[in-house]
Structure 1
Amino acid sequence: MTTVTELLDAAEFRAVLGRYPTGVVVVAAMVDGRPEGLAVNSFTSVSLDPPLIAFCAAASSSTWPRLRRAGGFAITMLGADQEAACRTFAAKGADRFAAVPWSLTPAGHPVLDGAPAWLDVVPHTMQEAGDHELVLGRVTHLGAAPGGEPLVFFRGGFTGLAQREDGGGDTSASRRARSAGPRGLDAESPFFGVLSARLDAASR
């Protein structure tokens, strides 16, 4: 059987896919009474009914097998000011929760404080996908903070949603670009609004 690496140059494949910007999340659970987690940028919403999300965990990860056994986990959506935390959770052998403030979700999973949003998730399906495991999870609880920009990963590095000409302050052009939003599209995804309403109704 012909493999992808025989058809495509792996470095070129990575470089091309790196031109697609992604957010970054931390997937975490309590394992043997201790918080454990890892950084993931292959995260996406999948379905509103049932409420499903997906992410991919590397088969080479030493942390994911332990999280997998926990039977559930939380997903922290990292903010633009949490790059240092992201690097910590991507490093091998680090005591990842030692240097970051965190708290527990209603389901008892650890999430990083100060993040734009978080989800409590239970596994729905898991399957081998090449050198990763594809995980579908069902959302059971969630929360979001007002405002705040996400941490964005693009072309091998971190960036923001808008270009800043003065190194930090907004330019009038960037403010107009963000307020106008993409043409023909809603400025906000309906995922959180609809999902939150459904979960709230189900809990009554």
Structure 2
Amino acid sequence: MSHSIADNPDFPDRYFRSALGRFPSGVTIVTAEHPDTHAPLGMTISSFSSVSLQPPMVLWTLTQGAASRPALLTLERYVIHVLSASQIHLARRFARGSHSERFEGLALGRAPNGTLMLEDPRCSAWFECHNSQHHDAGDHTIFVGQVEHCHYQPKAPLIYHAGDFDLTPASEPLSRN
């Protein structure tokens, strides 16, 4: 059996994680309902990216050890909420505790196709997605969603950088002339 450098990198996991942390990312919350129990599911995700404009597609990843992973693999739809800088409390809330605790006392609504979503007017954007593909990659699963509906507003995003939230004051958005 042959081994490549990818099988045995010359750096520890912790070092790799710190190196990845040099790249800032936005912070999102993914919401849905359990396909069997209809209980709310939600988690903070910082691995979110666009995939395609035609058709409109996005991706996000989830660790394979996540308790909600089996349910998420079988869902028809989910909503990805892009958090604004004023929503750090939600990012922290949806990163720990049980799913029921995460939703306790929050206003919930429905996206146009009926998918459970947060009713928080401070979100920078949201995307209602059809759960079209998933791929196992290392210790994570990549979820690819075809965007069916979306909304945005000009709000400064919440940024995750170097292992923590970046609360550096945002500059005003640049105007396009």
TM-score bucket (shorter structure): 0.7 to 0.9
Q: How far apart, CA to CA, are the structure 2 residues paired with 1:28 and 1:52?
A: 17
Post-superposition CA distance 1:9-57 (Å, at most 9, x none):
1111000110100001111112222221111100001110111101111
Partner of 2:109: 103
Q: How far apart, CA to CA, are the structure 1 residues paired with 2:116 and 2:92?
A: 18
- The answer on 1:135 being equivalent to 2:143 is yes
Whose radius of gyration is greater, 1 or 2?
1
Deviation at 1:100, TM superposition (A): 2.7
| Runs (5+) with no aligned partner, structure 1 | 164-174, 182-186, 189-204
Q: How far apart, CA to CA, are the structure 1 residues paired with 2:50 and 2:32?
A: 20
Deviation at 1:97, TM superposition (A): 0.8
Partner of 1:46: 51
> How many positions carry a matched residue from both structures?
168
Counterpart residue type for residue 28 of structure 1: T
Q: How far apart, CA to CA, are the structure 1 residues paired with 2:26 and 2:42?
A: 17
TM normalised by structure 1 equals 0.75
Matches within 5 A, 1:139-178: 139-145=147-153, 147-160=154-167, 162=169, 175=171, 178=172
Q: How far apart, CA to CA, are the structure 1 residues paired with 2:169 and 2:124?
A: 17
Query: Residues 28 and 136 (structure 1 numbering): CA distance in 2 closer, same or farther, change over 3 Å?
Result: same
Runs of 4+ that moved beyond 2 A: 1-6, 99-102, 160-163
Higher helix share: 1
Q: How far apart, CA to CA, are the structure 2 residues paired with 1:82 and 1:6?
A: 39
Contact 1:23 1:151 in 2 (8 A): yes
Partner of 1:91: 96
Q: How far apart, CA to CA, are the structure 2 residues paired with 1:105 and 1:128?
A: 28
Partner of 1:117: 125
Q: How far apart, CA to CA, are the structure 2 residues paired with 1:63 and 1:111?
A: 17
Post-superposition CA distance 1:38-91 (Å, at most 9, x none):
111000011101111011111011123222222111111111111111111111
Deviates further, 83-92 or 2-11: 2-11
Contact 1:36 1:63 in 2 (8 A): yes
Q: Which has the higher contact order (CA 8 A, sep 6+)?
A: 2
- The answer on 1:16 being equivalent to 2:23 is no
Counterpart residue type for residue 161 of structure 2: F
Query: Residues 153 and 5 (structure 1 numbering): CA distance in 2 closer, same or farther, change over 3 Å?
Result: farther
Counterpart residue type for residue 62 of structure 1: A
User: What is the RMSD of the two structures over their aligned residues, measured on CA atoms?
Assistant: 2.1
TM normalised by structure 2 equals 0.85
Q: How far apart, CA to CA, are the structure 2 residues paired with 1:34 and 1:3?
A: 43
Contact 1:53 1:136 in 2 (8 A): yes
